[in-house]
Structure formats: structure tokens, C-alpha cells
Amino acid sequence: MLSNKFVVLGVMVAVGAWSASAMTLEEIDGVFEFAELQYKKATDSLTVEEGIPRNSHADGTWNQLGITSWTSGFFPGCLWLIYAQNQDDDWKKEAQKWTAPLEPLKTYDHHHDVGFMVFCSYGEGYRLTQDPEYKAIILQTADTLATRFRPSGGIIQSWGSIHNENTKTYRVIIDNMMNLEMMLWASKNGGDETLKAIALTHADTTMKHHFRPDGSSFHKLTYELESGKVLLKQTHQGYADDSMWARGQAWALYGYTMMYRETEEERYLETAEKAAAIYLKRLPKDGIPRWDFDAPDSKPFKDASAAAIASSALVELSQLTGKKEYLAAAEKALEELSTDRYLAKGEKYQCLLLHSVGNLNRTSEVDVNISYADYYFLEALSRLKKVKQGQPL
């Protein structure tokens, strides 16, 4: 819930934004109608038993994976975001159906991504239904995530088992900032206060080690378990260790914007604005980054997912700060993503956005649709719509 200070700022920005507005409410609703069309094709042709849709094959069909894929929350999340717009009971039932298989994740401690997986599915669902069973699942998942906290480093381990007694080092990626929202929510909604302490400690440690002086972020850090010292600063999905991986920068921008919303701690706002500044400074004219800001011309792929995540964060940052330039940048990117250059037009597709990059270094999911691009695009448009209607986010 946003404080009154933020609501007032939100209305100020909304009023000011009308003159510079690029997307009309009708255009935003038009994208939601297209999303409805696409996701109806998907839910009509897929079964839950075959797995959760993650990315689209070249023939337009969805690739379905088990619930432990880090992306499993996004497809149900998209259904909830569509239901939030159309308030149609059939969509609610569909969203519930695709959320239900994720329940075992409440005790899944094999990686850090349960925040994405459970908060984008059950979290969206709880906001709309207030279903107490959903709340219980979110609270338990937050407790499970907390078990991955490493006190010596003051940070949550991203990958690898936490039960291996031979572990000497562990890795943390910038993406992990996104999982903190569930912990903060849990601590405010009946969960343990420790969850908040862990989330803030993780955010503070990340702030200290994961950023370069210019506000760009490293993707992957290796910590020594015993001392908590940082041993390596590298990339995993970016072009180079010292490059700016676009989605990583978007996770950083979103993560610290969310941290400021939840805590009102100025240090998080400063970090979010620094992350935004370098992102916006280096953004090409069309508002959509390459998969890495330093990617060479031989690998020129755009990453719609990074643009969608950053846009959602920038809409929120505009409301928290009253700065119209953030809203303008978000709107420009969202307008571009809403053109036929990015929308998955064509009979064969059952998804929303084309042209994202998962992991180019492994030639995996290059220039394709991926469910998280759809999810953050819909979230960003929902937020933009609220701003235009003068509502708090």
C-alpha cells in the first residue's frame, strides 16, 4: 500500500502527464484485448498437466516446463493481470487453475527464485481474491526463502543447494532483488519480522557490492561462505563481466524502486535513481535496449523483457518521485512494445510480446517470446493506466 505522500505525488504526476501522454487509455485497453485473445488461445489448447508455459517455440506454441522452472509464476500471473482488467469470472477460474499446481513451491528451497514464482502467481491472485489459502502459501514460501540467507555475507544465496556441507563459496545474482518483495509483504502481513530484516540486509549488501560507480550493476557475485567476502564479480547472461546486461539493470531498477516503496528509506531511492539514470542515458532512441547495452553489432538482438521490466519500474518511480521524465521514458518504451514490431500478431502465436533474449551466452531463448516479458508488459500497462486515471498504483 502506498503512503499518502506517494498518492498525492501520483495524482500530481498523472495530471501533468496528460499533456505529454503518448498512449491513450483506448490504446492500453486495446493491448489488453489482444492479450485476452492470445491467452485464450493458449488456455484453450494447453493443459496444466503438461507444465507451465515458459517461452514460445518458432511454430508459435508454448514450451511447457515443470513448476520448478524459475519462470513458472509468470503465465498464471498474466492470467491474473488480465482478470484484473476484465473482471470476468471465467478468467478468474483459469488463473486459479494455472496457479494451483505451484503450491508445492512453498517448501522449495533449491534456488532463490521462489519470490518470482509464488509472488507473481499467488501474490497477484491474493491481491484480487483475498483468498486465505493463497496468503498462507505466500507466507510459507517467504519463510522457505529466508532459509537461504547467509549471515556471514549478509545476503541470500541465489543458486545451489544450501544443504551441501562441502560448500565453500556461493553465488548471488542481481535478479535476487526481485524476491525481496514477497519477504517484505510477508513481514507486513502476519509473517515474521525477521523477514524484513533479511530483506533489508540483502538489499544493503547488494547495494554495497553489486554496483559500479556509474550505477550499472554486475550480474553475478561469488561470496566466500566462511568470511562473507566477495571473491568474484562477473556476468552470467550478459556480454562481458564489465558490460551492462539489460535485464539485470532492469531488475536492479525495479528492485530498488520496490524497496523504496516498501520502506521509504532514501538510500534505496538513490540507488534506484542511479540505476535509472545510466539505463536511460544509454537507451537507444526507440526506448528498447539490446539484450546487453554493450552488445556488439554482430549480436544486435533487442530484449523486450528488459524494456517491459524497466518500464514497469519507471512508472512506479515516477509516482514515488513526481518526476515526469521517468513516466515519459516508460510510456515511450511501452508505446513501441505495443506496435506490430513487438506484438505477437499472426495466427500461430498464443503469446503477447516477441523479441526477448533469455541467455544468449548459451544460445537459449534468443529473440523469442518469454513469459516474463508478457507479465511485466501487462503489469507496466496496468500501472500506466492507473496513472492516467489518477489512481494510486
CB of 133 to ligand GLY, least distance (A): 27
Q: Answer yes or no whether residue 181 interacts with ligand GLY by CB under 6 A.
A: no
**Catalytic-residue membership of 59:** no
* Binding flags for ligand GLY, 57-76, as an x/- string (CB under 6 A): -------------x------
Annotated active-site residue in 29, 59, 113, 242: 113
CB distance 174 to 251 below 8 Å: yes
CB of 358 to ligand GLY, least distance (A): 6
Residue number, 17 or 52, with CB nearest to ligand GLY: 52
Query: How big is the site for ligand GLY, counted in residues (CB under 6 A)?
Result: 5
CB of 175 to ligand GLY, least distance (A): 4
Residue number, 43 or 69, with CB nearest to ligand GLY: 69
How many angstroms separate the CA atoms of 344 and 119, rounded? 26
List, in order, residues 6 or more apart from 288 with CB less than 8 Å away: 302, 303, 304, 307, 333, 336, 337, 342
How many angstroms separate the CA atoms of 249 and 307, rounded? 10
CB atoms within 10 A of CB 151: 9
Residue number, 237 or 350, with CB nearest to ligand GLY: 237
Q: Answer yes or no whether residue 247 interacts with ligand GLY by CB under 6 A.
A: yes
How many angstroms separate the CA atoms of 305 and 289, rounded? 10
CB of 189 to ligand GLY, least distance (A): 25
Closest residue to ligand GLY, judged by C-beta, is 175
Residue number, 245 or 268, with CB nearest to ligand GLY: 245
Q: Phi and psi at residue 359, in whole multiples of 5°?
A: -140, 95
CB distance 149 to 183 below 8 Å: no
Q: Using CA of residue 209, residue 308, residue 113, residue 243, what is the dihedral sign?
A: negative
CB of 236 to ligand GLY, least distance (A): 9
CB of 356 to ligand GLY, least distance (A): 10
* Binding flags for ligand GLY, 118-157, as an x/- string (CB under 6 A): ----------------------------------------
CB of 18 to ligand GLY, least distance (A): 34
Q: Using CA of residue 228, residue 229, residue 233, residue 234, what is the dihedral sign?
A: negative
| Grid cell of 165 as nine digits | 556441507
Annotated active-site residue in 89, 175, 242, 294: 175
Q: Answer yes or no whether residue 365 interacts with ligand GLY by CB under 6 A.
A: no
Q: Phi and psi at residue 169, in whole multiples of 5°?
A: -135, 160
Residue number, 237 or 382, with CB nearest to ligand GLY: 237
Residue number, 23 or 304, with CB nearest to ligand GLY: 304
Member of 94, 124, 175, 303 binding ligand GLY (CB under 6 A): 175
**Catalytic-residue membership of 241:** no
Member of 237, 249, 271, 382 binding ligand GLY (CB under 6 A): 237
Residue number, 92 or 247, with CB nearest to ligand GLY: 247
Enzyme catalytic residues:
113, 175
Residues that bind ligand GLY (CB under 6 A): 70, 175, 237, 247, 358
